[in-house]
Amino acid sequence: MELTEDAIRKLALLSRLHIADEEIPVLKTKLEHILDHMDELSSLDLSDVPPMMHPDSGERPLRQDEPHESLDRDLALSNAPKAVEGFFAIPKVIGAA
């Protein structure tokens, strides 16, 4: 598939990537290779392949859920950069200036 330099610049803009002008030819070649590969995959006849939700649908053995003593609060907070009234204190991230 042939890509134009304008299409690559638009893709970079939408992806919020800064791409220098000298990088465009290299990126163009790599993206065309990826798109050609996707075209090859699209041409495969997969009518007899059942759909799957995840490529690895194997069972995962889980350990038994057995009650045990909780970690001591003071021990858990001992490595925290900051604790307030027995809880981890973290910087405000939502609505922070």
pLDDT in tens, 71-90: 999 999 998 999 999 999 99
Overall number of domains in the chain: 1
Angle at 17 between CA 15 and CA 22, to 5 degrees: 130
Alpha-carbon span 87 to 77, nearest angstrom:
7
pLDDT digits (tens, 9 = 90+) for 11-64: 999 999 999 999 999 999 999 999 999 999 999 999 998 887 777 767 778 888
pLDDT of residue 1: 67
* 37 in a structural domain: yes
Those residues whose C-beta lies under 8 Å from the C-beta of residue 2, and which sit 6 or more positions away, are 32
* 83 in a structural domain: no
Closest CA to 85 of 93, 94, 74, 69: 74
pLDDT of residue 26: 94
* 81 in a structural domain: no
* 27 in a structural domain: yes
- CA–chain centroid gap for 90, Å, is 24
* 31 in a structural domain: yes
Domain of 16 in residue numbering reads as 5-42
* 16 in a structural domain: yes
